[in-house]
Structures are given as structure tokens and as C-alpha cells.
Amino acid sequence: MTITVLFISFFVFMLLGVPIAISLGLSTLLTMVFATNLPLGSIITQSFTSLDSFSLLAIPLFILAGVLMSQGGVSKRLLKLADVLVGYLVGGLAHGTILASMLFAAISGSGPATVAAIGSFMVPSMANKGYDKSFAAAVTAVAGTIGVIIPPSIPFIMFGIAGQVSIGGLFLAGIIPGIIIGLALMIVSYVIAKKRNFPTEGKFPTFMEVVKAINYAKWALLIPVIILGGIYSGLFSPTESAAVACMYAAFIGLFVYRELNFKKLYKVFLEATLVAVPVNIIIGFSISFAYLLSIERIPAKIATFITGISENLFITMLIISAFLFVVGMFIDTIPAIVILTPILLPVAQGVGMDPIHFGVIMIVNLAIGYVTPPLGVNLFVASHISKVSIERITVASIPFIIAMIVVVIILILIPQLSLFIPSVAL
Amino acid sequence: MKILNVLRKFEEIVIVGSMVVILLLIFGQALFRYFLGSGLVWGEELARYVHIAQIWLASSLAIKTGGHIRVTFFRDLFNTNGRRIIDLVATLSFFVLMVFVAVKGTEFIFHLIETGQRAPSMGILMAIPYTVVPLGAMLMLIRLIQQFRSVLKGEILDEGIEGVDK
């Protein structure tokens, strides 16, 4: 009874377009009033204590760092470097977009922000050079998913908080999978560009050209070194590294690149906070919801159900991945993580999976959700930038999505791809 | 609407101010830990409370900017009139929860004042940081009334897209 009220009311509110955070709170409240005699005041205390977390502070700070970077002139320097390194290949601009997204991902923790930062330059220039515009938009949208896989990553922070898994470990685990996804997308772009005869220009770079491009982008390239180096060496916690990255980015933008000023900073702070707050408020109401789930033993029941089908780790993970793929089509990444981590993580651990490995699989799966309709945030941003309809971008994205699914399977089969770097560092 | 202008100024100051304070506190924390070996305990606690205040007090402006994360594919299946009705119901549902938080939250503040519970390291009354919960709910109520009126007038709720200026 309790669970029926909880789930049905949650889905009804969610479908009506009530913000997810509020849907969680309302369904919890309804269930408590009509199906249990738990004290209602706990919703209030949970909405405070669940947010009282030092790790959670990393989210607004990393979002701020990302906005500071993109407003401060970092993206165009990364694009220049990417173009010199891979621009001479068949479909060079597509490779440049993917590589630049990977570099930007090492600075930003958000998928849509990566699409916006890279796409606003690359979609027009691909279109000018005779690339199919829907292909250009699709490459940008899909490459943006790497934004949440290569650290820093807001979804990894969320997973770490929801599942009590080391955020630093998750960050380090995301590096190799992020690079593999980038390579997979480049292979697909290469094949498509060859088949459809997209123009190739630029020549193999000389050593001096590479050095010059690296020099041009050097201050931007130092950011991932600071963030990852700080976490890797144990010098900073992820939250502290985010603050250091912000200070560094503000300094570079103000005094080195001189593309920021104090008036612009005000807008940057405002914009970053308005992106971070809706993400965090979900946590405020999710804990009471999760509490109701746990007293009804829902995670245990789902675990029994899935392990009833098969106790094999690979098959269990395939079932979970298929489920996450479908969830990702309809629900945004952050709420999906907050709601599902307490349910799915015990299942994965039950079949002997490392929590960090599971985190990587879960985030990659949900990242695919950024480019699957009807709710695919990267598609929205790419469509907004390119003025190509979401339907056409989706069709052009299909080969890339298939490549990402193949990568998911490889990542499940070879845990070392995720676990090697954290095992060396931590 | 004068009151909305005042509200907007207040929201912006809270947002930008809280972000600056959080950034400086955490950065300071990192420096302290690096040079002195340990951070300030109260600094971390203060940063956490400022962050909670930011979340609760900036949520109202996020209503105005369409920033709250929600699912719209179902609503978008309907024509303009259908969407408007759904938006009104959604706004009303949001309103109900915030009335609950505002009322229950205020009660809880009085309860906290009675018990005199204090923050572990700063030693301030816990009622002070908790105030942002009912206060934020009240600010959201104002924004929700505004949203309800604009939907009634025929405006379709738009969604903010991260990283893209409207």
C-alpha cells in the first residue's frame, strides 16, 4: 500500500511537469499522511540535514569553474589545440570537436555545458566547410556526454554522495572510460566522413605547430593538472580542488586572458548558482523518499528479483544497463542517480561488483540518456545552437549511440579499465 | 510590481554573495590545510550552512528562470489549452508542498528555539541556519503566485537550458 501510493503519486506529479524535487517531496508527504503514521516533521529535518554535506559543496563550485572557463576564453584555445592535433584526419573538424570536448570535460563537470561551450564554435564552422548540419549537431551533442565521464563530473559527485563511494576514486576511474568513448566516437566519425565524403583539409602538423598550440592553451591545460593532481596526490579533497580551480580560472580570465571583468563575474556567479541550485534541491527531498523505500525493503526486493533471473555479474549488469538506458530517455541524469543509486548499488554489490566500477557503468549509461529523446538535454542544447530539429539530430546520433553502447559492454567486461587508476592512486 | 523588484534584488544578492562566501571559505580551507596542516572547523561548518541557505533561498529565482529540473514530454503531447491546464495543476501542486514546508518549518524553528540546540563548532542556535527552510518556502510561494498568474494570462512555461542564454 505504502509503496503503491508513493510510486503512483510520484509518477503522476512527475508527468504533470512538477519539478522532480517537488514531486519527490509531495509523494513522500502524501504517502506519510495517508499510508503511514510517521511524523511529518521529518521531511523538514531531512530537507536540511541531507544538504548538510561538505562533498555536496563541490557541485556549485565545479559548475562555477566550468562557467568561469567558458566565459573566460578557455574553450577557443582548447579548440585551436584540438584542431592542430587531429584536424588533418578525414573528417578533421568532427575529430577536433570530439577532442576539444574531451579537453573541456577535464575542466567542466557537465554534459550540456560542454555542448554549449564547444558547439557554439564548431557547429557553424563544420556547416561552413560543407559538413551535413545534422551530423555536425549530432557529433557535438554526443561528444558532450564525455563532459560527465572525464573528471570532474557532477554526476560522479552525486553518485558518490548517494552511494557513499569515494568521489576522488570515481573521478580517477572516469579517465580511461572517457578517453575510450572519445576514441570510439572518432572512429564512427571517420567512417561516416569517409563514406559521405566530407571535406578534409589541413595537413599533418609540424612539431613547432604543436608546441605553439600547446603554449597558446597552456593556462587552460593546467586546470586538469591542478584538479586531478590535487586529488591524486591527496593534497585536496574534490571540494577543495573545485575551489582552487575556480580561483585559478577567475585569475586567468581576469588577468591573463583578460576576457572577464568584475561586471561579467557577477553574471557568471549568478548563472552558475542558478544551474547548481535546482540540482541540489533534489537531494533535499530525495532522502525522505529513499527512507520510505528502505523501510518498505524495496532495494532488497528488487535485488532478489534481479538475482532471481541470473546471479551472473555480466548478465545482471546488462539488465541494469538496459534499464538505465530506458530511464535515461525519460529522466534527467541527476534525479535518476539520486533515486536509483540506493536501489541499484546494493544489487550490483550483491553480485560482487566493485562500487566504483558500478558508478562508472551507471554514469556512462545515464550519459547516453543526454542524447536520447524525448528528454535529452544535450540534444536540446545542440538543437538550440544549430537550429536543426531534435528529430534530425537524433537520427544522425544513432551510429554514435550504438558505439557508446558497445563501450558500455567493454567497460562491464573489463573492470580494470575503470579500476586501474584508482587502485594505483588510492 | 515593486515587491517583485525588491525580491529579485534580494535573490540576486543572496545568490552572488553566498557563492563568493562559499568560494572564499573553501579556498581558505584548502590554503590552511596546505600551509598549517589543518583547516578551520568552523569555516567548513559555515560554508555548509551558507550552501544550504543558497539552495533554499535561490530556489525561488530558479522558478522564475525555469531552472528547476522537470519532465515535459508528457505535457508537450497536449495542445496549448491542455498544456496550460497541466501547468496550472503543476504550479498548484508545487504551491501545496511549499505551504506545508513554510508552516511545518516555522513550527520546527520554534521547537528548536525551545530546545536550544546549538551548532557543533560555531555554537550558534540551530534555529538560525534552519530559518532558511521556511523562509525559502515563503519566497517560492511568492514566485509560484506570480507563475500561476502568468500561466492564467496565457504564457506557456518555458524551460531554461543550461549554458544557453535566452
pLDDT tens for residues A189-202? 999 999 998 888 77
Residue A63 contacts residue A276 (beta carbons within 8 Å): yes
* Per-range mean pLDDT, top range of A186-190, A249-253, B150-154: A186-190
The rounded distance, in Å, linking the Cα atoms of B109 and B128 is 8
Residue with more model confidence, A369 or A232: A369
- Please state the pTM of the whole predicted model: 0.89
Query: pLDDT under 70 in chain B at which residues?
Result: 1, 158-166
Q: Which three cell numbers stand for residue A300?
A: 532488497
- Computed from CA positions of residues A307, A310, A312, A316, in that sequence, does the dihedral angle turn out positive or negative? negative
**Mutation for testing the A interface, residue in B25, B29, B61, B71 having most A CBs under 10 Å:** B71
Contacts of A407 by beta carbon, 8 Å cutoff, 6+ apart = A177, A180, A181, A184, A364
Give Dmax (Cα) for chain B: 63
Mean pLDDT across A260-288 = 90
Mean pLDDT across A232-258 = 90
Confidence at residue A69, expressed as pLDDT on a 0 to 100 scale: 85
Contact B48 A57 (CB under 8 A): yes
Cβ-based contacts of A65 with chain B (< 8 Å): none
Confidence at residue A43, expressed as pLDDT on a 0 to 100 scale: 93
Contacts of A124 by beta carbon, 8 Å cutoff, 6+ apart = none
3-state secondary structure of A368: helix
Q: What is the pLDDT of residues A21-31, one digit of tens each?
A: 999 999 999 99
Tell me what ipTM this predicted complex has: 0.91
Contact B107 A41 (CB under 8 A): yes
Q: What is the pLDDT of residues B29-57, one digit of tens each?
A: 989 888 887 777 889 999 999 999 999 99
Cβ-based contacts of A277 with chain B (< 8 Å): 15, 54-55, 58-59, 62, 67
Confidence at residue A426, expressed as pLDDT on a 0 to 100 scale: 62
Mean pLDDT across A95-110 = 92
Contact B87 A44 (CB under 8 A): no
Angle between the N-to-C axes of helices A41-49 and B80-115, in degrees from 0 to 180, rounded to the nearest 10: 90
The rounded distance, in Å, linking the Cα atoms of A14 and A119 is 30
Contacts of A306 by beta carbon, 8 Å cutoff, 6+ apart = A316, A319, A320, A347
Residue with more model confidence, A103 or B160: A103
Give contacts of A 66-105 with B, CB under 8 A.
70
Residue A59 contacts residue A280 (beta carbons within 8 Å): yes
The rounded distance, in Å, linking the Cα atoms of B69 and B71 is 7
Confidence of residue A395 (pLDDT cuts 50, 70, 90): very high
Angle between the N-to-C axes of helices A167-195 and A390-413, in degrees from 0 to 180, rounded to the nearest 10: 120
Cβ-based contacts of B87 with chain A (< 8 Å): 17
Pick from A370, A380, A362, A361: nearest CA to A401: A370
Nearest CB to B104 within list A41, A235, A332: A41
pLDDT score of A59 more than 90: yes
- Min Cα–Cα distance to chain B from A373, Å: 9
Residue A121 contacts residue A74 (beta carbons within 8 Å): no
3-state secondary structure of A224: helix
- Min Cα–Cα distance to chain B from A52, Å: 6
| DSSP letters for A287-304 | HHHHHHHHHTTHHHHHHH
The rounded distance, in Å, linking the Cα atoms of A182 and A179 is 5
Q: Do you know the residue count of chain A?
A: 426
The rounded distance, in Å, linking the Cα atoms of A94 and A96 is 5
Give contacts of A 25-54 with B, CB under 8 A.
25-26, 29, 40-41, 43-45, 47-48, 51-54
Angle between the N-to-C axes of helices A238-251 and A58-71, in degrees from 0 to 180, rounded to the nearest 10: 20
Beta-carbon pairs below 8 A across chains A and B? 196
Burial of B80 (0-12, 13-18, 19+ CB in 10 A): exposed
Cβ-based contacts of A274 with chain B (< 8 Å): 15, 58, 61-62, 65, 67, 160
Share the mean pLDDT of chain A.
91
Nearest CB to B94 within list A18, A44, A277: A18
Q: Is the CB of residue A279 less than 8 Å away from at least one CB of chain B?
A: yes
User: What does residue A363 show for φ and ψ, rounded to 5 degrees?
Assistant: -70, -40
User: What does residue A306 show for φ and ψ, rounded to 5 degrees?
Assistant: -70, -45
Confidence of residue A161 (pLDDT cuts 50, 70, 90): very high
Q: Which three cell numbers stand for residue A315?
A: 548478465
Confidence at residue B160, expressed as pLDDT on a 0 to 100 scale: 54
CB atoms within 10 A of CB A297: 12
Chain A's closest residue to B68, CA to CA, is A278
Q: Is the CB of residue A374 less than 8 Å away from at least one CB of chain B?
A: yes
Contact B133 A29 (CB under 8 A): no
Pick from B151, B128, B147, B129: nearest CA to B139: B147
Confidence at residue B97, expressed as pLDDT on a 0 to 100 scale: 97
pLDDT score of A335 more than 70: yes
pLDDT score of A352 more than 50: yes
